[in-house]
């Protein structure tokens, strides 16, 4: 059942306050991709165990598969049943129109990423579209996140090593971050400091000195995308610097797929896949979420909402 506008505005106001709490208290929200109900159960289980607030997020693919309002209802049902502090982020929304639909559906966080759909989008196009979403988000008070360029990698298991000389060409700079934040009025800046979408055969390396410089240059929230395969000490330092949102996807999907493959092979006569998912997969994914929440210093930060 759709939320009323006053309900949406209340949720968004709480979410904004909590992001400020995270920054002041030096912890970060884990933003975990929601593929299906089993993934939501895994995130909920970890959040309950550690009493940690969480975001779940969906990109356009999940929106197309599940539906914006179905996602909103599913998360709200879990929120009511388990008493967890949980919010929804629309991740890498590829157009102004799609972002506006997320705002109208009551998502507390909106990530507008024009360069996702058009890698060659100009700075002017990205700024103009982002500012339009920022202006529209005033309807509900949703927090808007963006970045001034295409963010590399993808939701895949990559076989090649990371070419950091190439990746460094897309790193954020304090100057460009400040210009983008000032030009758009966004609430959260998605920094690129070595974080990269996907899983690779080598661990990722974050430029923490660059992250510090970006933190000093801008006064809005900072997020890190592409958190999978990143050694935990980088996250622990990043939250001390002032990062308040870290996205995790591929590590969860890897655990889901590998565990499901294993239990399917071990139970060839079981035709109820949902039983196998409930028996083994949810625990495997939940363990990934737990480990990240501990690195993000968000355990025991949950409040009643």
Cα dihedral value 91, 97, 102, 104, nearest 10: 160
The enclosing domain of 270 has a CATH number of 3.20.20.70
Taking the alpha carbons at both ends of the chain, their separation in whole angstroms is 19
Q: Is residue 152 part of a domain?
A: yes
Q: Which domain holds residue 69?
A: 5-295
Q: How many domains does the chain have?
A: 1
Query: Among all residues, which ones are annotated catalytic?
Result: 91
pLDDT on residue 152: 63
Is 80 exceeded by the pLDDT of residue 201?
A: no
Q: Is residue 301 part of a domain?
A: no
User: For the whole model, what pTM was predicted?
Assistant: 0.95
Q: Is residue 44 part of a domain?
A: yes
Q: Is residue 67 part of a domain?
A: yes
Instruction: Tell which residue, 151, 260, 156, has the closest CA to residue 199.
Output: 156
Q: What is the pLDDT of residues 56-107, one digit of tens each?
A: 999 999 999 999 999 999 999 999 999 999 999 999 999 999 999 999 999 9
Beta strands in the chain (DSSP E): 29-33, 54-58, 86-93, 109-112, 143-146, 153-157, 188-191, 197-199, 221-224, 245-248
Distance CA 120, CA 169 (A): 15
pLDDT on residue 200: 80
**Residue with structure tokens 């501990």?**
294
pLDDT on residue 143: 98
Q: Is residue 300 part of a domain?
A: no
Q: What is the pLDDT of residues 132-152, one digit of tens each?
A: 999 999 999 999 999 997 666
Is 80 exceeded by the pLDDT of residue 196?
A: yes
Mean pLDDT score of the chain: 94
CB of 68 within 8 A of CB of 105? yes
Q: Is residue 302 part of a domain?
A: no
Q: Is residue 31 part of a domain?
A: yes
Q: Determine what percent of the chain falls in helix, strand and coil, rounding each to the nearest 5.
A: 55, 15, 30
Distance CA 139, CA 261 (A): 45
Rounded percentage of the chain residues whose pLDDT exceeds 70 = 95
Cross-strand partners of 223: 190, 245
Q: What is the pLDDT of residues 32-41, one digit of tens each?
A: 999 999 999 9
Distance CA 218, CA 232 (A): 25
């Amino acid at each position: 059942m759709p939320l009323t506008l006053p309900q949406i505005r209340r949720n968004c106001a709480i979410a904004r306050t909590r992001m400020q709490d995270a920054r002041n208290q030096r912890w970060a929200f884990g933003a975990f991709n929601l593929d299906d109900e089993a993934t939501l159960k895994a995130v909920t289980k970890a959040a309950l165990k550690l009493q940690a607030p969480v975001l779940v997020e969906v990109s356009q693919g999940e929106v197309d598969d599940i539906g914006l309002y179905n996602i909103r209802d599913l998360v709200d049902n879990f929120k009511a049943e388990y008493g967890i502090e949980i919010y929804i982020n629309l991740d890498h929304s590829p157009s102004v129109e799609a972002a506006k639909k997320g705002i109208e559906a009551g998502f507390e966080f909106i990530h507008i990423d024009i360069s996702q759909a058009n890698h060659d989008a100009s700075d002017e196009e990205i700024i103009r579209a982002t500012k339009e979403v920022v202006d529209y988000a005033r309807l509900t008070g949703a927090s808007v996140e963006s970045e001034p360029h295409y963010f590399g990698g993808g939701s895949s298991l990559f076989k090649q090593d990371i070419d950091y000389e190439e990746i460094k060409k897309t790193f954020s700079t304090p100057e460009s971050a400040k210009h983008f934040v000032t030009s758009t009025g966004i609430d959260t800046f998605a920094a690129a400091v070595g974080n990269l979408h996907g899983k690779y055969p080598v661990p990722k390396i974050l430029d923490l000195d660059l992250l510090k410089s970006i933190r000093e240059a801008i006064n809005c929230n900072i997020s890190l995308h592409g958190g999978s395969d990143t050694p935990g000490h980088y996250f622990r330092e990043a939250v001390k610097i002032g990062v308040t949102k870290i996205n995790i996807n591929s590590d969860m999907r890897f655990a889901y797929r590998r565990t499901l493959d294993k239990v399917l092979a071990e139970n060839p006569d079981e035709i109820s896949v949902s039983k196998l998912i409930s028996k083994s997969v949810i625990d495997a994914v939940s363990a990934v979420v737990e480990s990240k929440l501990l690195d993000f210093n968000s355990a025991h930060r949950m409040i009643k909402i």
